[in-house]
Every structure is written in C-alpha cells, then in structure tokens.
Structure 1
Amino acid sequence: MPGIKHLECTNSALSPQDEHLVRGLASDIDLHLKKLDTELEEIMQRYQDRRATLLLQRKPLTSLLSGMRRFPGEIFREIFLYIAVEDSAELIPSAQVCRRWREIALEFPELWTNIVLGSSKALTEQQSRGILQILATRSKEWPLSLTLRVVPEMDVNWFYWMPDLLKEFVFNKPWRSLIAFDDLAKTTLDPEKNARSLETLQSLSIIDTYCWPYFLSDLNKRNIAKAIPNVTSLTISALTKCPSPYSRLVSWKKLTSLKITSNVMSWLSCFQILSDCASLEEADVRTSKEVDPTPTDIQILVMPHLRRMSMSSDKIPQMLPQFLSTPVLEELVISFWEDITVDDDQMPLLEWILDAAPTLRTLQIPGQVELRALTLEHFSDFPSPPPLEELAITPPNRSPIDIFCWLTVQDEKVLFPRLKQLEFLHNSTTSKYDIEYLQKLIDSRRSAGLDVACPLRRVVWEVDGEMLEESSEIFSDLSKAKGFKVAVPLSGYGVYYNSNNFV
C-alpha cells in the first residue's frame, strides 16, 4: 500500500506520525467494507423481493397446468365422501385450501348430510343453531345422518337445549340415520306428523333412559315399523325392563343389526327381543347384573340368520343356552366383568357355546376364564367336530402353555381340527417351567406318533425377555409342523417364528 511500504520492511515501533497514518488508512477501509455490506444487503433484498414477485406470478400459471384441474368434480366428490364416512374424522377445511375445493363441496349436497353432535370444540346453542341451518340448507333434499359423539368439552346444558333445537330441523327433512332421545324421540317418530322424514330412514338409535318399554309399546301400537320400512339397523339404550308384549320387536322384520344396552334388562328379555327379528345378522347385547330366572315354560329362541354377536355383562347366563339356537353364527365375543367360573352342576362355558352355535368359527373371551369352563365334557356327543378356527381367551393364573395343551388334545382326541389361531390376551406370560413342560409334551407326542402342533397354525402369547432365547428353539421346533407359526409380542414388538428363523 503506497505510503506505508517502507514501514512494512522494518521491525521497529511506529512513530506517532506513522501510527496516525496507519490508523487513518484502516478506518477508511472499514468504511468501504461497511458500505459494501450495505450495498450487498440492498441487492439481496431486491433479489428476494423480485424472486417472490416472480413466484407469485408463476403460481397461477402452475395451477393452470396442474393435472388436478383435469380431474372432474365427481372424483373430488368421491374423495370427500370417502373421508366423511369416518364418524371420528375431523371436518375437511375445504374453504381454507382453494376456491375450487369450496366450489366442489358446495356443488354436491350429499357432502353436507352428516351431522355430528358433540365436536372437539364446545359450541353454544347459537353456534349450533347456525351450523344446523347451514347443513339443512346445503344438504337440500338428501337424507341426513345424525351422530352423537360425547366429548369432555361439551357443555353440561347441551343435553337440555339440543333436543329442542333439533326439533326445528327434523321435520320436513329426509333422514338416513337418526338418534332420537327423550322428547325428541316421541316427537320425531310420529308417522302422522313426520312421514317424509321417516320413509328414507335406514338406521335408528333410540336413547330413552327411563320410559323405554312404554315408549316402544306406544310405537308398536302406532305401527311405527310400517312408517320406517327401510330401517335395517336399530340401537336401543334403556335402563328398565320390558314388562309388556308391546315392548317386543316382532313387527320389525327387516332389521339386520340390533344393539341393546340396559342396566337391568335380563338376558332372557334381550334374547327374546333378538329372536323377534327374523332377518337379524348382527347383534350387540350389553346387560346388567341381574341374574336370569330359571325358565319354566319357554320355547326355543331361534335366530336363523345371526352371524355376528357380542355379549357383555358381569354374569354368564347359565340357564339360557339350552333354549338358544343360532344355526349360522360365525363370530362371537363374550365380555364379562367378573372372572368366569363354573360350578359342578353347571354346563362348561365352551360346551354350551358350541351347543348353541354349531357353526361358530371365531370366539373371543376377553374376561378371565376358569380352565374348567373350557372343558368339553360331552365331546363324544357332538355329531361332528366344532368348526372353530380362531380362539382368543384370558386364562387366570394358568400358563398359556397349559391352556395350549388343554385345548389342543383332551383324552388323546383333537378338540378343534380346524383351529388355526389361538391367542392369549392381557399379559399372559410364559415361564421357564412352561417352556420345559412344552418340550416334554412335544417329545411325548412325537414318540406316540401324534402331530406336534395338532391343527394349530398360529399362537399369540407373551414371553418374558429372559425366556425369549430359551424358548426360541422350542418355538422353532413347533414351526416345523405343517407351517405352524408362533407370534410372540415382546415389549410391544411382534416376533414371528417361521422355518427356524425370525421374520
């Protein structure tokens, strides 16, 4: 740099004059650098602004060339309808995505037919009224569907003002699915005043806490079944018995699905109602602690088309099985709130189930089951082996290995020749003793010429982490038998044994 070249060639200290010169030159350079940085920032800002402007100008051009524009509105309609089928799904924010989505949504009234009472946000009466008015207008002539979803955020007063609010929108509107409770049920299900709303109805839920039998009796007297000829699904929620014959469902001949929830209705009353519905294919019964009286004069309750059934209570109906007939039942779930035990004079649970449902293929018993309840005392009396293919149980205080041995062979006879899957629910763990016991069982069966795994193809249970390595050899041995698989959930992960290898 001119003026300081001679200073760079010396190692001596600078004189005051030379130091002043050097500091002045350095200050000038700092000013130039600062000015250059400022100019660069201004250039970058102009670049960013210009780039953003060009992107905004390009965005509508990209939209015009998008393949989505070539999709007909019917495709979006099917997508929206597919998402809207889920009752728990959130609303589609079509208005927040693009104008075309909103236009498409407004074009198809069937997208506005699902009314869900109770959302993730607490709504006031005024807000609910506005939403109902919008749905009633946009749905036009399409049948509506009313769903109740109770959430913690709901206002406790909601149950008081909502029925009155719904009355304003129920009449003169067609309905596909309806929840009727309290006074709304009595007002809505009136063939004389609301025939147009009822003729398209397919699913009906009646929630009447106290006066259900009298309410249903009144409906039957008014021949409500003829006023709703297309109803195939019915849900009843009641807390009282059915004391009169008018409380039955004999005239509801088209029902294919029925759900009954009651705190005091007996098993006998529930099954009598089920047998009223000649076309019933699916049933869900949740009863109370009431014990069935011993029937003295009762005909066989036949459910000729019932294929799927779920039963939930705290007591097992010991006396009813001999009066039940479900000739085509394929799936059964029995949930009891107390452990299932069997007295000496009672029929084992598994035996009466198979006796009442000879075609049963899938059985789930989530509650605790005593081993004796799974006995088939009259196994030789069965005309043919049970066709059971899947069984899920929770044995109390017994090893899954023990239950596995019990259910596969009794008295050297294969109980379920078609059983493909056996699952042990609710933390059924296996110990080292169980593994050794299973190994002895395999050896004894092999020496006797018996099939090691019997008919089973898949078993699901839990194995302690320490036992996993010790049990792998035995499970691998089992897997050699006709493609037999063992699924072992370990710390939340599924471990599958197949052909001696982990899969």
Structure 2
Amino acid sequence: MDAPMGDGSSTYLPVSNPWSCISHEDKAALDGQPLPEIQRRSRDMIKRHQDYMIALSTIHNAASPIHALLPPELLINIFAILPIEDLRDARLTLVCRRWRDLLLRTPEFWANLLAVIRHQDIKDDFLATMSQRSYPRRLSLNMGIKLLQAPQFAPHLSRISSLRVDVIGGWYERLHDLLKQRRLPTLESLTVDLFIADGPKLTEMCQQLGRCTDDDLPCLRHLRIPGELFAFLYSITQLKSLVISRLEYLPDFTASGYNASLVSAIRRCTTLQTLRVESLPGDGWEDIEQPQSDSAPVPFPDLRMLEIVLSHDHAPLANVLQHLVQHIVPPHGARIRLVSGRTDSPISIMLPAYPLTEKPQGKIVVYVDVTGAGPLTLTVLVDNRELVEVKVTPPDQETDIPPPEPITASLVRYMRFIMQQYVVFIQDINTLEVHYGLNRSITREDIKLLLGLAPSLKSLTLHGSLPSQYDAIDTGDGPENQLDLLGALCTTSQPDGDIPCPSLRELEFICEGPMPPAKILAARIAAVLSAREAVSATRLDLFTLQGYPRDAAAEASGENDITEELVEVVRPLVDTLKLTGDVSMEEDA
C-alpha cells in the first residue's frame, strides 16, 4: 500500500517505507481515510503503543536482579540511610515506578532531604510534600528563620529535634517567639548563628525579650549560641553541652553587667558535661559574685571538659585559671582545654582541672611529635593515660630564611609554664620520646630544649633521621659534630661542665629517613658515648639502633657494614647493644 499523499506535497519519512513497519490491522484502519482522520487515528495508535512500551519497561525493570532478589524491606532500609547531598537527590523517585513507590513510603528519605535545605529558593508545594512525606520522623534542619516560618512547616514544628538557624539582626525576635510560644517542644539541639553589627540595638532587644526557661524548651540538651544572647535571654538548667560563641561582626556591646550575667547563666546549667567558652569577658571579674566557700559543693558534678578559647599569648593563662575556674568549678577528673587562635602561633593545651602538686602513681612518659607540617605536640602520659597535651603551630617560615629560634622553643615555653604553675612533678619524668621527621629540620638546640624539661631523664627514644654532613669519620667531638642531634647528649650545656641528662640509662635511636654512611654513623654514636663516659655520666645499660636502612650497592662494596662497625666500637661502652629491624642483631657485653 502506498502512503496517501496530498497533491504537490513533500514529506520526510523516518524509514524508507513506514507502512511496512505497522500491523495489517493498523494498515486497514488507515487505508483510504482522509488526511485529518489518518492523523487522529494515528495519534490514538501512538498513545496505545506508548502505554504498551511503558508496561514492557516495567516488566523488564521488575526482572532486574536489584528488584527480583532484594526484598522491599531491604530497599527501604537502604533509602533510609542513603547519604543526601542536596535536593537534586530527589530525582531517585524518577528511576522507576517501584523505586518511586518505595521512596514515597520511606519517611527517613524525605527527612534527610529536609536536612539539606539552606535557602528560601524552594517551591512551596515541594516543601509541603517533603514535610508530609517525612512524617512521623524527627527532623534535623539547617535553615534561615524565614524558611523556618514558612506555613508549610507549621504543622511539623513539633517534630524538629535538631535546629541550626541563621539569624540577621532583629530577625532573632521571630525565633525567640517560636521558643517562648513552645512551638518546638521536642527540640534537643539548637545552634543560633546571629549576624549583627549594632551593639545598642542588641542591648535594647535583650532588655525587651523574656528569658527562655526549661518549660519553654523541656527537651533541649545541646546549645550553641552567642554569649550576648545566652547571658540575658536564657535561664535553663538541663543542658549537657553548651558552646558560648562570639559575635564576630559586633564592634561593641553596651549592656551593663554582661560578665556577671554570663557567668550566672552558665552556673544555672548544673548538668553540663562539656562547656566551650569562645566569648570570654576581658575584665570585670570583680563584679562577679565569688563562691561562698572552698567547701561548697561542686556546681558542675558531671562536667568532664571545659574548653576555653583565648586570643592572647600564654601570659593570660594564669588569669583564666585563677578567675574563670573559680566560678565554673569542674570536679576532679575533669579536663580543661585552653585554645588560642593567634595567627602567628596558635596553641591548644589540655590539662587536668586541678593543679597536681604530687606525682601520681605509675610510669610517666613525655611524648614529643614534630613529624608533620601541622602543630608540634607534647603529651604527658601516666601509665598510657593522657594527662597533659600541648599543641603549638609554629609560624610559617620561608625556606631561605632561618627561623629566629628553635622550632620547639614555643612548645617548651608553654610546657615550662604548666610545670611551674600547674603540674610541678613533670620535671621528674624518666621517659622521653621524640618523633621528628623529614618535614622539619630539628636541630641540636631543639633536642637540648626538650631535654632541659627532664634533668632526671633515664630513658630517651629518638625517632627520625640524622644529617649526613660529615666527609670523614671523626671520633672526636669537635664543634662540627656538636651540631647534630646526637651531639645534644654529650656537649656541655652549663659553664660547670654538666651535660644534659647525666642519669640517662637507656638510649634508642630509630631510623626513619636519610642517614649518613654506616661507618660514619657508627663512629658518631661511639663518640657520643665516649664523651659522656669522659665526664663521668652514668653508663648506658642499653643502646638500641633500629631500622637503619641498608644500601645494596654500598653494602656490596663494603661501605655499609654497620653491624660489624657498631659491635666493634660501641659494645665496650654499653652494657647491652641491640641492633633491630634491618640490621637484626643483639649483642651483650
């Protein structure tokens, strides 16, 4: 059958003869019909065949392994824990009819979609659909106050358990109204990010609004809020964690009695387990009511971590410990972290809540780590339990400009402050581990500073590399040899000839990088031990060299026989010599 064509017309055919591709029944229905009727009937046939193709696709998809082998309950569980990145993940409902049906019955999926909303640019009907489909799950939201006040959320406010809200200026009053009207009865965690640059306006707002109480927020347990708001607008007691943040964009705050109000508001939270204060009052401590007596009960019996963010150097630490801790009294066993955000040398210090004047029972180890590009770390452990931790990030140095002081100087400075005023027994430590790597050039001066912390040190472990700066073996201890790391153990540090750590009994050197040739290293170690023996230092009970890298080419030429060299020159100077790792040998004198 030829295709019916109008006079003088032309057409584009997708195939050379489309009539050969349709059934005889359809051909008969179209044969001899006028053009309008052909178009009408062909449209009906297209619709019928589209439905047919959809049905075939559904049957095909249903036979795929993910549908045929996985039960619906398992797919629902997968959808419930699926990580959602943005609202575009809602396109999963378009994969197939079965997925859409299961997703519509997975409220966790829609609750997770709500959790990634950030802005107002979302259609009201889609917002309403997500809210309805998420029922009855608890909601965790991160959004602005305008979106939170959308009518679509009104029936679902009672399901919000976690909320982070961005507030600008006077918009905070709207959030405060929601809290005071008890529209968020199941709220467990609240974070308020306030952006304001008008101090007098903030003062006026705090004077006009009423305080939120436990009755308004019966389930609230975790709160992060600017101190200006918390001091005047919150009177709650049942918190487990509290973060007092700072208003970065507020140039001045004129409310009188802020310091006393902030401390008073914190004191009400007697169930706190963690407290972080980023908005410390600079002065005005004399206006705060002092504790009644030293024998008063601990006001925070559950407090385990008090974190204080500073913006000064180490000098104000004494002021913080003397004043703030008098008002926020943690129990014994709690810990305090002092953090300084200075750009030139940020620090983080973790220490016990109370000064330790007596040495605790157990083995004390000081662990120093300067391996990476991050902060220098010094940790004090008692029987493998961390007691004190100091982290200092040194300022960046240009490669061609020598640092003004040893890289460990700031670390030791903070540690000495703690030793003198807080943990006086650390100077009696007997075990020190120093980890240094290829990213920093640690020197003899660095080691000397660290050793100065422990005059009674008995065991020292050095992890790292030794510069290969010697052209020849020198069994003496001249100035050029005193510059390396091992030289810190034998060079005089005092005018009277004393050497660092005269009581040292165990020395371990663990190779972790490029080293000098084997014979030079062996002679260098022997020179160190001989120099210590010459000034009547304690003889080493044990010397250990671990992991010295072997060089196959040098070993073949006889230049890397460190085992024979060490046994020959070192064994007479120590009671026990251990060569472990690559060299694998142990020798007793």
TM class, shorter-chain normalised? 0.5 to 0.7
The answer to whether the aligner puts 1:207 opposite 2:233 as a matched pair is no
Q: Is the 8 A contact 2:85 2:116 kept in 1?
A: no
The answer to whether the aligner puts 1:372 opposite 2:427 as a matched pair is no
1:291 corresponds to which of 268, 274, 282: 282
Paired position in structure 1 for 2:110: 112
Amino acid at match of 2:111: T
The answer to whether the aligner puts 1:186 opposite 2:173 as a matched pair is yes
Distance 2:390 2:441 in 1: 18
Distance 2:463 2:427 in 1: 21
Cα distance change of structure 1 residues 399 and 391 upon mapping to structure 2, 3 Å threshold: closer
* Pairing of 1:460-479 with structure 2 (within 5 A): 468-470=514-516
SS in 2 for 1:468: coil
Q: Is the 8 A contact 1:400 1:430 kept in 2?
A: no
Cα distance change of structure 1 residues 224 and 96 upon mapping to structure 2, 3 Å threshold: same
* Structure 1 residue 422 displacement after superposition: 11
Cα distance change of structure 1 residues 294 and 330 upon mapping to structure 2, 3 Å threshold: closer
Cα distance change of structure 1 residues 237 and 229 upon mapping to structure 2, 3 Å threshold: same
Paired position in structure 1 for 2:89: 91
Number of residue pairs the alignment of both structures matches: 381
Identity of aligned residues (%): 14
The answer to whether the aligner puts 1:438 opposite 2:485 as a matched pair is yes
SS in 1 for 2:515: helix
Distance 2:92 2:345 in 1: 52
Distance 1:468 1:409 in 2: 27
Q: Which runs of 5+ in 1 are unaligned?
A: 1-55, 149-158, 342-347, 424-428, 487-497
The answer to whether the aligner puts 1:64 opposite 2:63 as a matched pair is yes
* Pairing of 1:213-224 with structure 2 (within 5 A): 221=210, 223-224=212-213
Cα distance change of structure 1 residues 188 and 405 upon mapping to structure 2, 3 Å threshold: same
Amino acid at match of 2:63: L
Q: Is the 8 A contact 1:260 1:286 kept in 2?
A: yes
Cα distance change of structure 1 residues 59 and 113 upon mapping to structure 2, 3 Å threshold: closer
Q: Which runs of 5+ in 2 are unaligned?
A: 1-54, 357-384, 395-409, 470-479, 491-498, 526-541, 549-578, 584-589
The answer to whether the aligner puts 1:337 opposite 2:342 as a matched pair is yes
Q: Deviations over 1:65-97 (max 9, x none)?
A: 62654434443344334343x778983642244
Paired position in structure 2 for 1:234: 223
* Pairing of 1:125-204 with structure 2 (within 5 A): 125=120, 127-148=122-143, 163=146, 166-173=149-156, 174=158, 175-180=160-165, 181-182=167-168, 185-190=172-177, 194-195=181-182, 197-204=183-190
Q: Deviations over 1:309-363 (max 9, x none)?
A: 554442254312024244334583623215569xxxxxx996x944647696463
Q: Is the 8 A contact 1:146 1:178 kept in 2?
A: yes
Paired position in structure 1 for 2:405: none
Cα distance change of structure 1 residues 60 and 241 upon mapping to structure 2, 3 Å threshold: closer
SS in 1 for 2:132: helix
Q: Is the 8 A contact 2:190 2:222 kept in 1?
A: yes
Distance 1:261 1:390 in 2: 38
Distance 2:171 2:138 in 1: 18
Q: Is the 8 A contact 1:167 1:188 kept in 2?
A: no
* Structure 1 residue 107 displacement after superposition: 0.5
* Structure 1 residue 105 displacement after superposition: 2.0
Structure number with the higher helix fraction is: 1
SS in 1 for 2:290: coil
Q: Deviations over 1:201-255 (max 9, x none)?
A: 1111223344667767777x454322222111111136x587x6x4565x23233
Q: Is the 8 A contact 1:330 1:362 kept in 2?
A: no
Amino acid at match of 1:134: T
Distance 2:543 2:279 in 1: 43
What RMSD, in angstroms, separates the aligned Cα atoms of the two structures? 5.8
Could you tell me the TM-score, scaled by structure 1's length? 0.55
Cα distance change of structure 1 residues 90 and 258 upon mapping to structure 2, 3 Å threshold: farther
